[in-house]
């Protein structure tokens, strides 16, 4: 591997960083040195380029091509001018928002409750269980919820016995809120997993200091606790947003592809359900998802900057 090549790694360049300007004599010398320093990182960069960069470029390219290969915006126009595809984007965004905000808050509360608990065994158990449940999704999860609160599920029969069959009161496991309920099963543990280390940063000394200065519990949270936690809570929620936006397996297995989510529509496209003359619609949908995710990243970064302002 790259580390076995002593000539590049034994002699550290003066600055240590590729492209750094300190102590450079000539531009070409600097360039050569920068290349030599960064050579061991090349396999990684090439891998990312091949595995991530090129597929992305292919999608963006095909999103703007007609079936005969000419440049066109008609695909983009088709998915943004109403109809099922626009509904798909709207539902997907709504799903991502609902399944990031609600599990975000619940996950933070659970993580806080566990982290301030006295029972060490429970802490361990919750840590391991979060790891398992956060990775639990797709088919298995769908089956589990069908057995729980499907039309003949265990909880459904309990509730029917007290006269509250949820299916008679507007609940449908295979529609938006049913799918959102199922998504929470992996989103909440994911939140617990990523927000717990941030709760470590909340030192007991701060609470004691606030109490000694006469602050009520509410004022402690308003002026110390929430501002300190906000950046990491928002960051974790963004991760949930991405996971909720792109989740495919769970919704596909649960609804058999009947719910109008963009990932489901892309899946249907890939499985060959294509109307002729719209052969690149799938790529346009993929491009749309990337664009929306990028917009969310930028929105998140702005929010993050605002929320972490006073920490500086």
| Range 105-164, binding another protein (CB under 8 A) | 106, 109-111, 113-118, 120, 123-124, 126-133, 135-141, 143-149, 153-155
CB nearer another protein, residue 48 or residue 209:
48
As a dihedral over the C-alpha atoms of residue 252, residue 256, residue 259, residue 262, rounded to 10 degrees, the angle is: 40
Q: Which part of the chain contacts another protein (CB under 8 A), choosing from 12-20, 22-30, 70-78, 162-170?
A: 12-20
CB nearer another protein, residue 16 or residue 69:
16
Of 288, 271, 83, 256, residue with least CA distance to 179: 256
CB nearer another protein, residue 78 or residue 126:
126
Smallest distance, another protein to C-beta of residue 73, A: 19
Count the residues of the shown chain that bind another protein, applying the rule CB under 8 A.
111
Footprint on residues 168-207 left by another protein (CB under 8 A): 184-185, 188, 193-200, 202, 204
By the rule CB under 8 A, 267 interacts with another protein:
yes
| 3-class SS letters over 86-121 | HHHHHHHHHHHHHHHHHHHHHHHHHHHHHHCCCCHH
* Interatomic CA distance for residues 304 and 310, integer angstroms: 11
Smallest distance, another protein to C-beta of residue 58, A: 5
CB nearer another protein, residue 61 or residue 73:
61
Smallest distance, another protein to C-beta of residue 82, A: 22
By the rule CB under 8 A, 216 interacts with another protein:
no
Buried b (16+ CB within 10 A) or exposed e, 38-65: eeeeeeeeeeeeeeeeeeeeebeebbbb
Q: Which part of the chain contacts another protein (CB under 8 A), choosing from 9-17, 22-30, 80-88, 172-180?
A: 9-17
The answer to whether 155 and 148 have CB atoms below 8 angstroms apart is yes
By the rule CB under 8 A, 220 interacts with another protein:
no
Smallest distance, another protein to C-beta of residue 194, A: 5
Footprint on residues 234-253 left by another protein (CB under 8 A): 235-236, 238-239, 242-243, 245-246, 248-249, 252-253
Tell me the per-residue interface mask from 52 to 91 with another protein, x by CB under 8 A, - otherwise. Answer: x-xxxxxx--x-----------------------------
Smallest distance, another protein to C-beta of residue 105, A: 11
Residues 6+ apart with CB under 8 A from 213: none
CB nearer another protein, residue 65 or residue 87:
65
Footprint on residues 24-53 left by another protein (CB under 8 A): 37-38, 40-41, 43-44, 47-48, 51-52
The answer to whether 37 and 18 have CB atoms below 8 angstroms apart is yes
Smallest distance, another protein to C-beta of residue 85, A: 14
Smallest distance, another protein to C-beta of residue 89, A: 13
By the rule CB under 8 A, 103 interacts with another protein:
no
Residues 6+ apart with CB under 8 A from 247: 137, 183, 263
* Interatomic CA distance for residues 247 and 235, integer angstroms: 19
* Interatomic CA distance for residues 137 and 95, integer angstroms: 16
């Amino acid at each position: 591997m790259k580390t076995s090549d002593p000539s590049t790694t034994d002699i550290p360049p003066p600055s240590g960083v590729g492209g750094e300007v300190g102590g450079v004599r000539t531009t070409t010398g600097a360039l050569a040195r920068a290349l030599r320093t960064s050579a061991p990182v090349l396999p990684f960069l090439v891998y990312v380029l091949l595995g991530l960069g090129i597929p992305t470029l292919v999608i963006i390219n095909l999103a703007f091509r007609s079936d005969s290969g000419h440049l066109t915006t008609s695909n983009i126009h088709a998915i943004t001018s109403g109809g099922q595809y626009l509904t798909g984007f709207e539902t997907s965004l709504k799903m991502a928002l609902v399944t990031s905000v609600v599990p975000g808050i619940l996950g933070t509360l659970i993580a806080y409750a566990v982290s301030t608990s006295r029972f060490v065994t429970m802490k361990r158990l919750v840590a391991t269980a979060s790891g398992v449940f956060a990775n639990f999704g797709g088919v298995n999860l769908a089956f589990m919820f069908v057995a729980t609160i499907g039309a003949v599920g265990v909880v459904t029969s309990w509730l029917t016995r007290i006269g509250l069959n949820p299916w008679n009161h507007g609940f449908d496991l295979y529609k938006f809120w049913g799918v959102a309920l199922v998504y929470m099963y992996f989103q909440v543990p994911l939140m617990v997993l990523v927000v717990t280390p941030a709760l470590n940063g909340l030192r007991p000394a701060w609470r004691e200091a606030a109490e000694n200065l006469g602050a009520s519990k509410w004022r402690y949270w308003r002026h110390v606790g929430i501002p300190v936690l906000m950046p990491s809570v928002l960051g974790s929620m963004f991760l949930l947003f991405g996971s909720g936006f792109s989740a495919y397996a769970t919704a596909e297995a649960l609804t058999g592809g009947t719910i109008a989510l963009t990932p489901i529509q892309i899946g249907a496209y890939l499985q060959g359900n294509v109307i002729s003359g719209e052969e690149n619609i799938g790529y346009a949908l993929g491009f749309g998802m990337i664009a929306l995710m990028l917009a969310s990243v930028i929105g998140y970064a702005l929010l993050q900057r605002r929320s972490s302002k006073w920490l500086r």
